[in-house]
A and B are shown apart, each in its own frame.
Chain A
């Protein structure tokens, strides 16, 4: 089988903010697949289940939890990969890349009707 795309490892050992993160998977009906629905911050698996139940209890028949730092992740578009490409570009450029960028016009996509804009 031919690999379709190049995936890179995604760092996942530091996801706590600062409480440990637990990835949450839920199933609605019995013939549905498990679905990843984000993560909750919790000190233990029991607490994570309680937290996830408050968020998804109205929806889910099954809830699975997994410590976020126990998940091996590989992605074609992870943040580290694009950041690494940026470092490569910077290393190969004698000039400061920012100089070029600063010549670009700063056109803000400001939305006059958005109440949150420029105001938090």
Chain B
């Protein structure tokens, strides 16, 4: 996840932004590797969903699945996460609100020091539910909307889904819950992007997360609906422009990008073009400390059957199952050659990724997309939209190395 607003609007080119993760009592920026070692855990609490979205990575269905955790099993699983020291549990699905025990489980997680956050389609978030989730300790609700009403409802397979999601967002905001939008950019909804931000900003929403399509679940079946790399670049540039326009007007919306770390490199280039070399370096340094693509490291996923995945999008492969042994054991077991390779992927990346000047802030982006389209785990991500001169550091100035050397 890359925060455009933080990088372009908050980060001080002189370096103040580096105090963001400075240790208490120290003026020097601290490497956050140790702190980020424990992953945010996405938990697909159920396969069931009241909608049927064409891009669902979890391949959710409207009918309930067998084998989902009982409430007691779910609490034992949350105990595993707390014992391991996972900082955050993201209640996802399917649609997590179809689980009758969701509020009980959110409260249980909060009581164990796991920061509970929610990913929902918003359509079942009544004001009462929003209040109850807030009281249970929920820290954040991310609501999915994928276009203006017509396109969103077509995408989500139900008329009225857009209006219901907006009501859910309003209910969360009225309950005082920190709330954000989740928007997966595809060819079908890219034209609606600015319209959705404008409409929801008017409703009081100030946080917008834009997801690249990853090629897992039903997402793998609509690879053709993904934007071309050139179109993707244009869309990301529009989001960056939009962020600056809002901030220039004094409306401090937060915009974030998920699922393609070519965005990190692009934002360094964008910062150089719009603000100059010092800002570009500050952006680069910040992104380098955050560590690039988080697959298999800073993000984990556990599906409704207990299978542990490298990211929420990579449902076709599982490292192990929490019914067999605790999550922490599975996640720490680097005797698994795939896990070890992904965590040390820099030496294995091939093609343009092998020599890319932005390798340390991107790390080859999505290994799942590379695998799905080429069959090669370490080939370049087909959604890398960087130009050759940017990859090779030819063009204008390069912030890589430089002052740190």
Residues of A in contact with B (beta carbons under 8 Å apart)? 10-12, 14-19, 21, 26, 28, 35, 37-41, 51, 54-56, 58-60, 73, 75, 77-80, 82-84, 86-87, 90, 98, 101-102, 104, 106-120
B185 at the interface (CB under 8 A from A): no
User: Contact: A106 with B137, CB < 8 Å?
Assistant: yes
Chain A residues with Cβ below 8 Å from B70 are 83
Given contacts A80-B323, A101-B111, A117-B115, contact A17 B305 (CB under 8 A): yes
User: Contact: A37 with B338, CB < 8 Å?
Assistant: yes
Residue in B111, B117, B305, B306 whose beta carbon sits within 8 Å of that of A104 in the complex: B111
Bound: A29/B236 CA distance, A = 46
User: Contact: A11 with B323, CB < 8 Å?
Assistant: yes
Residues of B in contact with A (beta carbons under 8 Å apart)? 1-3, 20-21, 30, 32, 35-36, 38-40, 42, 47, 59, 61, 65-67, 69-70, 72-73, 75-77, 79-80, 85, 87-88, 90, 104, 107-108, 110-111, 113-115, 117, 119, 137, 139-140, 142, 178, 180, 209, 256, 258, 289-291, 294, 298-299, 303-307, 312, 315-326, 335-338, 341, 371, 375, 377
User: Contact: B336 with A115, CB < 8 Å?
Assistant: no
Bound: A107/B66 CA distance, A = 34
User: Contact: B67 with A15, CB < 8 Å?
Assistant: yes
User: Contact: A54 with B323, CB < 8 Å?
Assistant: no
Bound: A37/B317 CA distance, A = 10
Shortest distance between the CB of A15 and any CB in chain B (Å) = 5
User: Contact: B318 with A21, CB < 8 Å?
Assistant: yes
Residue in A18, A84, A106, A111 whose beta carbon sits within 8 Å of that of B47 in the complex: A18
User: Contact: A17 with B315, CB < 8 Å?
Assistant: yes
Residue in A80, A111, A118 whose beta carbon sits within 8 Å of that of B32 in the complex: A111
User: Contact: A35 with B335, CB < 8 Å?
Assistant: yes
Bound: A10/B30 CA distance, A = 43
User: Contact: B115 with A120, CB < 8 Å?
Assistant: no
User: Contact: B76 with A86, CB < 8 Å?
Assistant: yes
User: Contact: A83 with B75, CB < 8 Å?
Assistant: yes
User: Contact: A39 with B76, CB < 8 Å?
Assistant: no
Shortest distance between the CB of A56 and any CB in chain B (Å) = 6
Q: Using CB atoms, name the residue of chain A closest to B68.
A: A14
Given contacts A111-B87, A120-B119, contact A55 B113 (CB under 8 A): no
Bound: A98/B112 CA distance, A = 12
Residue in A104, A107, A116 whose beta carbon sits within 8 Å of that of B294 in the complex: A116
Q: Pick 6 A–B contacts, CB within 8 A, sort by A.
A: A16-B67, A77-B326, A80-B73, A106-B110, A115-B3, A117-B87
User: Contact: B290 with A118, CB < 8 Å?
Assistant: no
Shortest distance between the CB of B173 and any CB in chain A (Å) = 17
User: Contact: A83 with B32, CB < 8 Å?
Assistant: no
